[in-house]
């Protein structure tokens, strides 16, 4: 099918009549606008699209999309999306979640959706704070963070969402930024094209409770120094003149050195590598966006999709429905009860 054969939609077709109610300057506005335009450009019908969210500022997303939507309960969006995607493989299913919703109460549901490779797109908005409940530290807040619930500084080791997803055997893992529309669109387009679970971490600014937490990779003067672009098949070099490079160490870890000193040790990025070791090492270059931070697609591999395998089993069971029920009940391990 060519582009001209696709149904013609505009961003307005994906915009609901609800007043968008986020704080002025919130990064969610940029993500919403980008996704509405992207879906229109992809030619996916609004009535074939579903957004599932949990609880948090980001979880208002379904109200603002003129698609089907479920504003569910705290942390449970991946579980609900799993059932929806498995029972309705014809639908385009998106999960909208935040660092608190996904990684605290929802951590268990998130990792199982990832390991199962359910055909859903999970967008994890990470602002390293609880915004809706007014400024408590979150699972991604850096150690030492002073917030309302940590007046003496957080003593928790923060979670790295990309590392967590790779450790859970996710087949598509990426990171992008709310304010870079071109990069955000590129990453979301690739996530949507992926069959299986895609996890996209989006650094999203909270202007009220954690403003400019990612300034090192978003400010005009510092982003050219600190953004490490991951481009498929290209050497991982960065800086205004490519003066720094990522190299592999003998122990499998990665390190940043001057490009002039790197020689032939510069890592060539390959998101399609089946073994996730290098992708995981890339994710460990930064725990928070306060310095050099990789951005782009860390991993994009093919693996059997949970929905397909489940529906295959359902079809097999239906094909065998003429078998004798009593024989089925008495097959395998059984016991008598007096």
Half-sphere exposure of 71 (CA within 13 A, CB side): 11
Question: Would you say residue 287 has pLDDT above 60?
Answer: yes
Token pair in block for residue 241:
């003149």
Dist. CA 194–CA 300, nearest whole Å? 8
Length of the chain: 338
Question: Would you say residue 323 has pLDDT above 80?
Answer: no
**Mean pLDDT, the chain, whole residue set:** 93
State the pLDDT confidence band at 321, using cuts at 50, 70 and 90. Answer: low
Question: Would you say residue 2 has pLDDT above 70?
Answer: no
pLDDT value of position 6: 66
Residue 335 lies in a domain: no
Residue 226 lies in a domain: yes
Q: Which of 9, 47, 53, 3 is nearest to 31 (CA)?
A: 53
pLDDT value of position 252: 87
Residue 274 lies in a domain: no
pLDDT value of position 1: 53
Q: Which of 296, 289, 300 is nearest to 215 (CA)?
A: 289
pLDDT value of position 328: 65
pLDDT value of position 3: 55
pLDDT in tens, 241-283: 999 999 999 898 999 999 999 988 999 999 999 999 999 999 9
pLDDT in tens, 34-81: 999 999 999 989 999 999 999 999 999 999 999 999 999 999 999 999
Question: Would you say residue 27 has pLDDT above 90?
Answer: yes
Dist. CA 151–CA 145, nearest whole Å? 8
Residue 40 is part of which domain span? 3-230+294-311
pLDDT value of position 51: 98
Strand order of the β-sheet with 227-230 is 68-71, 49-53, 92-98, 121-126, 198-203, 172-177, 293-300, 227-230
Dist. CA 101–CA 87, nearest whole Å? 24
Dist. CA 315–CA 310, nearest whole Å? 9
Residue 284 lies in a domain: no
Dist. CA 105–CA 241, nearest whole Å? 43
pLDDT value of position 316: 85
Radius of gyration of the chain (CA): 22
pLDDT value of position 133: 86
pLDDT in tens, 133-181: 888 999 999 998 898 898 999 999 999 999 999 999 999 999 999 999 9
- DSSP classification of residue 249: -
pLDDT in tens, 325-338: 667 667 777 677 76
Q: Are 70 and 53 in contact (CB under 8 A)?
A: yes
CATH value at residue 77: 3.40.50.970
Token pair in block for residue 210:
């954690």
DSSP 78-131: HHHHHHHHHH-TTSEEEEEEEHHIIIIITHHHHHHHHHHT-S-EEEEEE-SSBT
Tally of domains in the chain:
1
The residues pairing with 257 across neighbouring beta strands, listed in sequence order, are 245
- What does the pLDDT average to over 310-320? 84
**CA-CA distances (angstroms) from residue 288 to 148, 162, 205?**
20, 11, 13
pLDDT value of position 277: 95
The residues pairing with 176 across neighbouring beta strands, listed in sequence order, are 202
- What does the pLDDT average to over 198-214? 95
Percent of the chain topping pLDDT 90: 84
């Amino acid at each position: 099918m060519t582009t001209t054969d696709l149904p013609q939609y505009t961003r307005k077709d994906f915009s609901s009549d609800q007043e968008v109610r986020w704080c002025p300057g919130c990064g969610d506005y940029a993500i919403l606008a980008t996704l509405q335009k992207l879906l229109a450009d992809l030619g996916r019908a609004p009535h074939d699209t579903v957004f599932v969210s949990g609880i948090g500022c980001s979880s208002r997303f379904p109200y603002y999309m003129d698609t089907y939507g479920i504003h569910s309960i705290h942390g449970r969006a991946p579980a609900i999306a799993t059932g929806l995607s498995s029972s309705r493989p014809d639908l385009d299913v998106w999960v909208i979640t935040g660092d608190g919703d996904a990684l605290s109460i929802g951590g268990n549901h998130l990792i199982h959706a990832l390991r199962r490779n359910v055909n859903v797109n999970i967008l994890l908005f990470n602002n390293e704070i609880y915004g809706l409940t007014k400024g408590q530290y979150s699972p991604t807040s850096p150690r030492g963070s002073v917030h309302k619930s940590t007046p003496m500084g957080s003593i928790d080791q923060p979670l790295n969402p990309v590392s967590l997803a790779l450790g859970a055997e996710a087949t598509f893992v990426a990171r992008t930024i709310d304010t870079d529309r071109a990069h955000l669109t590129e990453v979301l387009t690739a996530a949507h094209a992926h069959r299986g679970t895609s996890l996209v971490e989006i650094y999203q600014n909270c202007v009220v409770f954690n403003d400019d937490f990612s300034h090192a990779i978003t400010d005009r003067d510092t982003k050219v120094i600190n953004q490490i672009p991951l481009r498929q098949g290209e050497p991982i070099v960065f800086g205004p003149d490519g003066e720094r490079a990522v190299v592999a160490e003998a122990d499998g870890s990665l390190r940043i050195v001057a490009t002039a000193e790197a020689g032939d040790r510069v890592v060539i990025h390959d998101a399609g590598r089946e073994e996730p070791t290098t992708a995981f090492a890339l994710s460990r270059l930064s725990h928070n966006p306060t310095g050099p931070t990789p951005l782009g697609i860390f991993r994009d591999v093919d693996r059997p999709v949970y929905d397909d395998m489940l529906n295959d089993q359902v079809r097999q069971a239906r094909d065998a429905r003429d078998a004798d029920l009593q024989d089925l009940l008495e097959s395998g391990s059984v016991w008598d009860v007096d």
